[in-house]
Amino acid sequence: MLTAEENAQLTRVGPGTLMGELMRQYWIPVVQSSELAAGGRPKRVRILGEDLIAYRNPGGRTAVCSEFCAHRRASLYFARNEERGLRCVYHGWQYGVDGGCIDMPNERPESSFQDKVTLPTYPCAERGGVVWTYMGPASPPPGLPDLEWALVPEAQRFVSKFWQGCNYLQALEGGVDPAHISFLHGVLNARDEEARRILDSAAAGFGFASQLERAPHIEVADTPTGLLLGARREAPAGQYYWRITQYLLPFHTMPPPEVGDDPLMHAHVWIPMDDDQLVNWCISWHPTRAITREEIAEFHAGSSIHVTAYAPASSDAYGDIRPAAHRANDYLADWEAQRTRKFFGVPGVGAQDKAITESQGVFDRSLERLGRADLGIIRVRKRLLDAATALRTQRVAPPGLDPAGYRVRPASVLLAKEMPWVEGAKDRLVVR
């Protein structure tokens, strides 16, 4: 449980807020590289309460800047993407990718006014097929995070994203909540073979063990960049089955993969658009091999974290990634399946997560009743608040500004009962 004040501090992300200031210390995914064609139309994006556009100039450089022209705030969504810069269609002011005003054709040629005008613009970089931006104060910005999914060859990763109509924190909390897997993504009767076969979560590698033992023992350990969340279940031959989630400040999570030597990995990046909406980035990758066609077909079928069935697109910020399953159509729930087989009738793991976290509404954490199973959530909130408070009051650099701190993986391992879990899993938790 949090006080109402802590709740507000954790969930508000606009300019000048405590959490908004923390999040602006980190690189933020904006769009996929493939969404911006050289010389193509800008896209509206909204990040941390700011209306922005992203575009790629004819020379191939990407830019993220204010949506609104510095002159009289016409939308640059309609701008002309010209060789030398982006030109507002209202009076023709033109801006370079760094935001400098380079032409002001409605002023007399002898005017030097354009030298005094800039368009608010954020540094931009591409890695892992994603355009990232940095909205913070450091100049130069820190290095891009060395996330394995962003560094493997393109064929070894699959990236999708979808819009969610709730505050980022409740969505992220689902990503550090190992206890919900057995319910929200589970079947009614774990010994029902047919139900197991159709289980949505099978493709995401959530593991059958989670269906049999629904109240795992949960432990949490600090890491330099975030937290490890271990969910422990009984296993044969004097062992425990440990499913270990990575949380990396401020908005990255990696759920545990299927058990085995060579599993597919998954990750989320939970990016607040503002206090009431987020973009849920979903990534699957393999450290050493290409993603197969069959796996990609499963991702598109919605039987994993990915949701790629979208409603008709609009040109609003992230208006092209609104899932077809939404609140007003009950997220396409199959109520008969919910009555007879599945714990929750909404099809697809990603859609289940979206449905249930949106259902929490504008979430007042002073009204919750947290149990031992919520330990991961408690610790993530504390880590965020501690980092944000230390930054605000003592100017302490938050964890995670070192790119190497992101070279980690989640893991699912069988360990002898006497083996401490962090020690026993440590080789699997790092990227070499």
- Residues at the contact surface with Fe ion, assessed by CB under 5 A: 353
Dihedral, 187, 190, 196, 199 alpha carbons, nearest 10: 20
Q: Looking up tokens 């289940």, which residue turns up?
A: 352
149 contacts ligand FES (rule: CB under 6 A): no
428 contacts ligand FES (rule: CB under 6 A): no
> Residue 93: which of ligand FES, Fe ion, none does it interact with, CB under 5 to 8 A by kind?
ligand FES
Of the candidate residues 2, 31, 69, 159, the single one contacting ligand FES (CB under 6 A) = 69
> Residue 353: which of Fe ion, ligand FES, none does it interact with, CB under 5 to 8 A by kind?
Fe ion
Residue 349 C-beta: closest distance to Fe ion, Å: 6
The DSSP output letter for 217 is E
Kindly indicate which of the ranges 7-15, 88-96, 160-168, 195-203 contains the residues binding ligand FES, using the contact rule CB under 6 A.
88-96
The answer to whether the beta carbons of residues 366 and 2 sit under 8 Å apart is yes
196 contacts ligand FES (rule: CB under 6 A): no
119 contacts ligand FES (rule: CB under 6 A): no
Q: How many CB atoms lie within 10 A of CB 354?
A: 26
Kindly indicate which of the ranges 28-36, 67-75, 356-364, 408-416 contains the residues binding ligand FES, using the contact rule CB under 6 A.
67-75
Whichever of 90 and 208 has its CB closer to ligand FES, that residue is 90
Residue 51 C-beta: closest distance to ligand FES, Å: 15
Q: Half-sphere exposure of residue 299, counting CA atoms within 13 Å on the CB side? A: 20
The answer to whether the beta carbons of residues 246 and 408 sit under 8 Å apart is yes
The residue of the chain with the least Cβ separation from Fe ion equals 353
Cβ-based burial of 118 (10 A; exposed 0-12, middle 13-18, buried ≥19): middle
Backbone φ and ψ for 234, nearest 5 degrees, come out as: -65, 145
101 contacts ligand FES (rule: CB under 6 A): no
Of the candidate residues 61, 91, 214, 428, the single one contacting ligand FES (CB under 6 A) = 91
Which amino acid, residue 195? A
Q: How many angstroms separate the CA atoms of 205 and 386, rounded?
A: 33
Beta strands, E only, 48-120: 50-56, 62-66, 80-81, 86-87, 94-95, 101-103
93 contacts ligand FES (rule: CB under 6 A): yes
72 contacts ligand FES (rule: CB under 6 A): yes
Enumerate binding residues for ligand FES (CB under 6 A): 69, 71-72, 74, 88, 90-93
